Amino acid sequence: MGTTTPSETDVVRRRAGARPDALPVRERTGPAGDTAGGRQRADGASADEGSRTVGLPGSPIAARAARQFVRTTLTDWTARELPGAQYLTERLADEAELLVSELVTNAVVHAGTAVELLCRVDEDGPHTAVVVEVSDHHPARPVRGRHDAVTAEGAGRGLQLVGALADAWGITYRRTLKTVWFRVTADSPETVYEPPVEVFDADRAGPGGQATVLMSPGPQRAALRRCEVERLNHGALSFLAEASDLLSGQLDADQVAALVAQLIVPRMADWCAVWLDDGGDAGVPRLARVWHATESRIDGLRELLVKDPPVLTGRGADGQSTGAGPWPWPGEPSGFGSGGAALACPLVSGVRRHGTLLIGRAGLVRFPDEVVSLIEDLAGRVARAIATADAYSRQERISRVLQRRLLPGRRADVPGVASAVVYEPREGAWAGGDFWDLFQAGPGRWCFMLGDVCGSGPEAAAVTGLARPVLRLLAREGYGVGEVLDRLNRTVAMEAADSVAAVAAAVVEAGSETESQPGYREESEQARFLSLLYGEIVPHEGGGGGARCTIASAGHPLPLVLGTDGTVRAVAGPQMLLGVLEDTAYESESFDLAPGETLLCVTDGVTERRAGGLLFDDEDGLVRALAECAGLGADGVAEHLRSRVHAFAPTPPDDDLALLVLQAVRP
């Protein structure tokens, strides 16, 4: 793959403890699949004493071929007793096989090219390591990472697993190749990796007197079993820490199920299934994830498990299953492999059961106690991750419902007046603080509003939920623009005073804080104020077109009118925010909106859009942007201004964005 030059970019990421001299540097003099000094094998791969390469097609079979290549390579090195082979543990082989599968899948899916694969051994006594490089021919396409919008089935999961399991990893971009490499280091010279064989174990003989377990050959069996127990004891905390890191922050229960399956297979089991109790059909658990070390057996395993989901009957005082227990090996083993041991474990967080985890290992009579304990601990962490994801999903659904209820159901059609609205809550907002409405208040009379609650979150949504219905009620009772604002102002001010009084009473009753303490001020400041543009529009009669507008601004960016000659003028004066002073009197202004003229109302998410130290409305920026809209219809004006606001800064807006356009149509 060529040595790096000063003009090439090499991005290296290392886990804590990785040695700085452990980077995979390799010369290559021939074409793909040929390594300097190597000999060509009959299967197309080339090999030398400590390095082997192969080319794989960019097709769905590449991942399976990569796993077979790595497993065969390590088995061959062990059989040939090459230097360092005595340190190639089964854990190391399992991790290398898992990671190369993820990276090759990533390369095939996201790069779409053929793949070059290198596997080599760095022999350094107990620090012997296996280094694997996966290269594709799409260097211009970056590798997707953990923060990209990819699911657990894609590239994000692959790199998360590499970061969690590898001792060091990195990405190298060259002119014609992009290489992702990782290094996994042996942890004990005692546990020698050898292809497992079936042997008789009298200690585990069942009722029929026969028991088959997976063990290494003859004289190494006892040492292997002792070493496996020791590795489980010493590696459990590391494994659980890796699991916690991968599961933390996951906001989708199906993604949690996918990740836990990838953690368990093939490190601890040959296959894994996860059921979720998420209120499916008639309360039946849903089989969310099935995974097998051999993909061709996944469908057969799924068909069997769907027919017979695990129902754990052992219950504790709280009605939940008490822990992991053996489960019958599913029938029809030809569907996914020979018989073995299966273990079912409930996924319980607090007093709620979220699902069931089922794992299986071929050739075992039962799982060792150490593995059972580890699975139970892992299941608790998985259950908490699912509980977090479920809570987020419920909150998201509530937010969507509130968002829909806080917005008007439809925009009224005003005769002779075209309208357009842009409404975009800020990214990640629980519920927008901006709101708008356009409705008929009586015969030949329509009302419109554009408001902004000072703040965000549930408190802002509560004020929004108060303002709109009060405005609609007052408008339909026949009150004028100024009178509507007077009454709404008193309502908001009284609600704010009641909120402060309630907080003060709660603090006094609790006896834990005073007005001078930060917590008191924070609670008191949740009383929200409101800025608002509110007006009436009455279309002119007689077929001449145009309309009579009456409008008032309460602490809001002033409304602008774009004339037919391209000039822009403000049509209202500034007044006090709503909810600040209860006895404030508001005044309205009236004007004629001539045919072809456009009335623009915006929130401060438009005028205060920031780019460095500049605001969008600095030096009459909004006036200039509106003047550029001469000759456009209402929809064109709205879209032009939306585009200008977004293009003003490279980052997304950090506030809600709302604007209302009313344009008198020429008859």
Stretch 159-178: mean pLDDT: 76
Task: Give the pLDDT of residue 142.
Answer: 55
User: What pairs with residue 535 in β-bridges?
Assistant: 448, 551
Rounded CA-CA distance 592/601 in Å is: 16
The CATH number linked to 593 is 3.60.40.10
Is 201 within the bounds of a domain? yes
Per-residue pLDDT, 523: 42
Q: In this structure, are 208 and 295 located in the same domain? A: yes
Highest mean pLDDT, choosing among 243-247, 378-382, 630-634 = 630-634
Q: Is the pLDDT of residue 266 over 90?
A: no
Tokens of residue 146, six digits: 């953990």
Q: Are residues 640 and 516 in the same domain?
A: yes
d(CA 442, CA 347): 58
Examine the fold and report which residue of 185, 206, 231 is the final residue of a domain before the chain moves on.
185
Alpha carbon distance 226, 407 (integer Å): 66
What pLDDT sits at residue 609? 93
**CA 172 to CA 28: how far, in whole Å?**
15
Is pLDDT at 556 greater than 90 in this prediction?
A: yes
Chosen domain end from 363, 380, 398: 398
Q: What is the DSSP letter of 189?
A: S
Is there a single domain that holds both residue 597 and residue 515? yes
Are 51 and 38 in contact by the 8 Å Cβ rule? The answer is yes
Say if 296 falls within a structural domain: yes
Same domain, 357 and 252: yes
Tell whether 419 and 386 lie within a shared domain.
no
In contact, 626 and 642? CB cutoff 8 Å: no
| In a domain? residue 4 | no
CA 363, CA 293: separation in Å to the nearest integer?
14
Using pLDDT thresholds of 50, 70 and 90, give the confidence band for residue 279. low
Whole-angstrom CA distances from 410 to 207, 405, 406 are 73, 12, 12
214, 610, 636 from 161: Cα distances, Å: 26, 38, 48
Alpha carbon 478 to its chain's center? 49
Question: Do 62 and 145 belong together in one domain?
Answer: yes
CA distances from 131 to 26, 170, 405, 644, 662 (A): 11, 11, 56, 50, 65
Please classify residue 234 by burial: count the beta carbons closer than 10 Å to its beta carbon, then call 0-12 exposed, 13-18 middle and 19+ buried.
exposed
Instruction: Please say which residue of 185, 205, 236 terminates a domain.
Output: 185
At which residue do the structure tokens 């915006």 appear? 602
pLDDT at 454: 78
229 shares its domain with 162:
no
| Percent of the chain residues past pLDDT 90, beyond the cut | 28
In a domain, 2, yes or no: no
Element (H, E) at 171: strand 168-173
Q: What is the pLDDT of residue 503?
A: 55
Could you report how far apart the first and last alpha carbons of the chain are, in Å?
A: 72
Does one domain contain both 351 and 460?
A: no
Answer yes or no: are the C-beta atoms of 341 and 362 closer than 8 Å: no
Domain count of the chain? 3
- 3-class SS letters over 294-312: CHHHHHHHHHHHHHCCCCC
**Which of 429, 452, 331, 459 minimizes the C-alpha distance to 654?**
429
- Burial letters for 496-516: b for 16+ Cβ neighbours within 10 Å, e otherwise? beebeeebeeebeeeeebeee
Q: Which of 14-18, 29-33, 112-116, 400-404 has the highest mean pLDDT?
A: 112-116
Of 464 and 371, the one with more pLDDT = 371
Range of the domain at 89: 9-185
Cβ pair 449, 406 in contact under 8 A:
no
The answer to whether residues 113 and 215 belong to one domain is no
CA 645-647-653 angle, 5° bins: 60
CA distances from 476 to 395, 440, 469, 480 (A): 35, 8, 11, 10
Tell me what pLDDT residue 510 has: 60
Q: Contact, 540 vs 549, CB < 8 A?
A: no
For the entire predicted model, the pTM comes to 0.51
In angstroms, rounded to a whole number, what is the distance separating the alpha carbons of residues 71 and 195?
A: 9
Provide the β-strand partners of residue 615.
Answer: 610
Mean residue pLDDT across the chain: 75
Same domain, 590 and 620: yes
Mean pLDDT of 5-29: 33
Residues 208 and 101 both lie in one domain: no
- Give the mean model confidence (pLDDT) for residues 5-30: 32
Distance separating alpha carbons of residues 519 and 615, to the nearest angstrom: 33
Residue 583: C-alpha distances to residues 484, 487, 578 (Å): 13, 10, 10
- E strand spans, 363-499: 417-424, 434-442, 445-453
Cα–Cα distances in angstroms (integers) from residue 285 to residues 391, 496, 512, in the given order: 18, 47, 46
Q: Are residues 169 and 209 in the same domain?
A: no
The partner residues of 602 in beta bridges, in order of sequence, read: 659
pLDDT at 487 over 90: yes
Task: Give the CATH number for residue 286.
Answer: 3.30.450.40
Task: Give me the mean pLDDT over the 602-621 stretch.
Answer: 92
Report pLDDT for 478.
92
Residue with tokens 């202004």: 589
Band (pLDDT 50/70/90 cuts) for residue 569 is very high
Q: Are strands 657-664 and 352-362 parallel, antiparallel or unpaired?
A: unpaired
pLDDT at 405: 67
pLDDT of 553 higher than 50:
yes
Of 184, 3, 201, 176, residue with least CA distance to 89: 184
Give the C-alpha separation, 128 to 614, whole Å.
Answer: 57
Which three-class secondary structure state does DSSP give residue 82?
coil
Pick from 313, 376, 365: which is nearest to 342 by CA?
365
Neighbouring-strand partners of residue 147: none
Contact, 201 vs 207, CB < 8 A?
Answer: no
How much is the pLDDT for 26?
A: 34
CATH number at residue 49: 3.30.565.10
Evaluate the CA torsion angle 227, 232, 233, 236 in order and state its sign.
Answer: positive
CA dist 485 and 581 (Å) reads: 12
* CB 351 within 8 Å of CB 320: yes
Query: Which letter does DSSP use for residue 457 in this model?
Result: H
As a whole number, mean pLDDT of residues 329-346 equals 71
Strands in 129-136's sheet, in edge-to-edge order, are 9-14, 168-173, 178-185, 129-136, 115-122, 51-56, 46-47, 39-40
Q: Please say whether the beta carbons of 288 and 355 come within 8 A.
A: yes
- What is the rounded distance in angstroms from the CA atom of residue 148 to the CA atom of residue 123? 36
Rounded Cα–Cα distance for residues 356 and 305 (Å): 12
Dig out the tokens for 398 from the structure.
């509530």
| 417 vs 98: CA distance, rounded Å | 64
Task: Give tens-digit pLDDT for 67-95.
Answer: 889 988 988 888 888 887 888 887 788 88
Mean pLDDT lowest for which of 269-273, 558-562, 591-595?
A: 269-273
Token pair listed for 303 = 């068909």
